[in-house]
Amino acid sequence: MDLRLDVTERDGWAVLAVGGEIDVATAPRLREQLITLVNDGHHRIVVDLGSVDFLDSTGLGVLVGALKRVRTHDGDLALVCDEPRILKVFEITGLTKVFAMYGSVDQAVAAD
Amino acid sequence: MDEVVELELPARPDVLALARLVVGAVVAGEPLFDEERIDDLRLAVSEACTNAIEAQQGRNGDDGDQRPILVRCRLASGRVEVEVRDHGGGFDQAGLSLHPPVTDPSRLHYERGLGIPLIRMLSDSVEFRRTADGTAVIMIFEPRPLPDPKPIT
């Protein structure tokens, strides 16, 4: 299934770049990756959705779960998304009010 | 003239991408459905198929119901009607509104339950019909009204 995950580190943030389609078939891999990051001590995470072509409610649920997880460690989760079709999913579910959202990874890691 | 495309899909998550591709392709030729509206349709149908597949998934280690789910896409009078049918035994609609609103901090305890609200928001109308052995979700999509023409200067 088409999902690409790539982790790098920047300025104390773990940056998870996601590409492809996030649905109920691929979301478990995203969830596992995020849990691994938190368990490895990364409590400040940027999820870069810039190369995501499709995101459904399962994907939103995984991101909500990750936000909850980092918060129990006093951490932070920021999302990078500038694609209107993906932003729309956050907007219509009201989740833009729940997540810190940025237009680029640069902006996300600079915000404090 | 009506155009009907019917898909029978194995009740497995890996068929979702195919369902999205097919419904997108069916509507792609319609001049009144722009890319954004087709994205709405693909997402809503994907959510309905996810629910259908999950309704048939096995519990407690059994294999679940192996019968295919049905996706029926009908183009008529400039609008699209999509029906998704499962054999999952139906679900309790009354339980749907129990989640706190999305801005409530306690909403973070719920990672699920966003699919049906999304379907409601993306479609122009949706009906959840109880069938003999499951659920039929019937969604109607109208094209978005065209923007007002720019005045000729």
Contact (CB, 8 A) for B127 and B83: no
Return the CATH number at A26: 3.30.750.24
Locate the domains of chain B by residue range: 3-141
* pLDDT computed for residue B106 by the predictor: 62
The verdict on a CB contact (< 8 Å) between A54 and B43 is yes
* Global ipTM: 0.90
Contact (CB, 8 A) for B140 and B124: yes
Find the closest chain A residue to B113 by CA distance.
A57
DSSP 8-class letter at B113: -
Q: How many domains does chain A have?
A: 1
- pTM summary value: 0.88
> How big is the A-B interface in CB pairs under 8 Å?
75
Q: What is the largest CA-CA distance in chain A?
A: 35
* pLDDT computed for residue B112 by the predictor: 72
A6 falls within a domain: no
Which of A24, A83, A88, A92 would you mutate first to test chain B, the one with the most B CBs within 10 A? A24
pLDDT in tens, B8-28: 999 999 999 999 999 999 998
The verdict on a CB contact (< 8 Å) between A64 and B16 is no
* Interchain CB contact of B96 with A (< 8 Å): no
Low-confidence ranges of chain B (pLDDT < 50): none
Question: CATH for B3-141?
Answer: 3.30.565.10
**Mode of pairing for the β-strands spanning B69-76 and B3-9:** antiparallel
* Interchain CB contact of B54 with A (< 8 Å): yes
CA distances from B12 to A15, A50, B43, B65 (A): 31, 27, 17, 11
What domain range is A36 assigned to?
A: 21-77+92-112
Beta bridge partners of residue B72, listed in sequence order = B6, B83
- Determine whether B110 is exposed, middle or buried from the number of CB atoms within 10 Å of its CB (0-12, 13-18, 19+): middle
A12 falls within a domain: no
* Interchain CB contact of B105 with A (< 8 Å): no
